[in-house]
Amino acid sequence: MGRTAAIGLCGVLTLLLTALTVSAGTATAVVPRPLASPAGALLVTFDIQVDAGAADYVHRAAQAAIASNQDLVIVMNTPGGLLSNMVQIINSTQEVQNHGLAVYTFVPPAAFAASAGSYIALASNAIYMGNASVIGPSTPYIIGGDPSQVQHVQNFATALMVSLAQAHGYNVTAAIDMAQNNTAFSGSEAAAIGLVTGMAQSLNDFLTKVGLNGVPVTPFEQPLYDRFLSFLSDPTVDGLFILIGIIALVLDLFHRTLFLSVVAVIFIALGFLGAQIIGASVVGILILIIAAALVILEVKAGHGLFAITGIILGLAGTYLLAYNVEYSPSPYGVTQYVILGGTGAALVVAFLYLTRIRKALMAQPKLIDPTRIVNMTGRAATDLVPGKDGVANVGAED
């Protein structure tokens, strides 16, 4: 699956590179003003990761800009994300440019155009950055990819970066350095070497420099649906949702309630929906299914071993959801590892506690146990006739 995904992404990149190569032939050191006279500008606040929600957000904004004859302004502060969604966003911005309108990127002071975000920025007609802002690094990652597969994607990513820089008049050498060597540049460094258009310390300053200070600038808010997609595009969230759903399902077996049943179904469904959105690895999904089976077996076994093994496998499956999925940067950092470790520890403690409760309940004598009256003397309260029901008090005070 991973190799197929890499080939699919490279195919998309090839088509994009072809389009950019055509436009690069007319590029100059100074980006010319597009032919259209814009009625205004739509402003996209891109302070999110590059994922399915972000791609749909920019696509909506791009279509709205085209329909209303407006330029597209991207105010960027992103750590990067999925390469496939990055390509979709670049396609959306290029569609705006194909209609004679402009796309501008502003990286405010202390903000980032990191990883996948750097490619999106270089797809703009002009880039302005504030003090203490950063662009790059831009080397893509494939978790679990073999060396040839990783090199395959990195070569295409470098070629894409070169084409973007050439098409819009940016420093090609610096662009290659970001993609190949994972190099990052501060805003002042990038402006000094021509990797970006210049410096701007505020949105108004930026709008003035791109010639939009005299036109209406309308914020284009990210729809709730796209925020939901972004939330589910995190493999850590997807895996934990599936684990929580499994735990809720097991708890429901001990204490049946409609609430727990609904929670279990919703969380498991959302987890697998998110896995589908990011194109998660089949290996990770299979491991999560095995983990679920082990946790459910724990209900019968009752010694805790299946539960702990299932939780460990569940955490491993969560990590492997991103296996062979192309990112820039890696989707896992210190925060994700802390969340996974903390969740795993909490689930282990919870299951050990439930195991103790189960053993204590099993050790209690049954309230109704016919074997307890064998060989005991009692008093007949009714006539005892073979083949018919009767009542006899055994061990009663009367």
| Same domain (yes/no): 129, 7 | yes
Between 379 and 8, the more confident residue is 379
pLDDT tens for 65-92 read 999 999 999 999 999 998 999 999 999 9
pLDDT tens for 196-250 read 999 999 999 999 999 998 899 999 999 999 999 999 988 888 888 988 888 788 7
| Same domain (yes/no): 184, 251 | no
Please list, in sequence order, all residues whose beta carbon lies within 8 angstroms of the beta carbon of residue 284, skipping any fewer than 6 positions away.
Answer: 235, 239, 275, 317, 318, 319, 320, 321, 322, 323
Cα distance between residue 33 and residue 338, in whole Å: 48
Q: Residue 392 in 3-state DSSP? A: strand
| Same domain (yes/no): 220, 248 | no
Mean pLDDT of the chain: 82
R_g over Cα of the chain: 30
Residue 375, in any domain of the structure: no
Kindly tell me if the per-residue pLDDT of 175 is higher than 50: yes
| Same domain (yes/no): 50, 116 | yes
Considering only 129-138, 166-175, 314-323, which range has the smallest mean pLDDT? 314-323
Kindly tell me if the per-residue pLDDT of 371 is higher than 70: no
| Same domain (yes/no): 345, 218 | no
Residue 393, in any domain of the structure: no
- What is the mean pLDDT of the segment spanning 313-338? 69
- pLDDT, residue 24, reads 41
> Which of 192, 227, 262 is the C-terminal boundary of a domain?
227
> Which of 163, 193, 227 is the C-terminal boundary of a domain?
227
Residue 78, in any domain of the structure: yes
For 262, other C-beta atoms within 10 Å of its C-beta total 12
Length of the chain: 398
Segments forming the whole domain that contains residue 199: 2-227
Residue 188, in any domain of the structure: yes
Kindly tell me if the per-residue pLDDT of 368 is higher than 80: no
- What is the mean pLDDT of the segment spanning 361-385? 70
- pLDDT, residue 27, reads 38
| Same domain (yes/no): 250, 271 | yes
Structure tokens at 57: 């957000």
| Same domain (yes/no): 219, 292 | no
| Same domain (yes/no): 337, 309 | yes
- What is the mean pLDDT of the segment spanning 91-111? 97
| Same domain (yes/no): 244, 220 | no
| Same domain (yes/no): 121, 183 | yes
- What is the mean pLDDT of the segment spanning 362-379? 68
pLDDT band at 376 (very low <50, low <70, confident <90, very high): confident
| Same domain (yes/no): 87, 174 | yes
How many separate domains does the chain show? 2
Structure tokens at 34: 């597009």
The answer to whether the beta carbons of residues 76 and 105 sit under 8 Å apart is yes
| Same domain (yes/no): 10, 152 | yes
Kindly tell me if the per-residue pLDDT of 369 is higher than 70: no
According to the 3-state scheme, what is the secondary structure of 343-368? Answer: HHHHHHHHHHHHHHHHHHHHHCCCCC
Kindly tell me if the per-residue pLDDT of 55 is higher than 60: yes
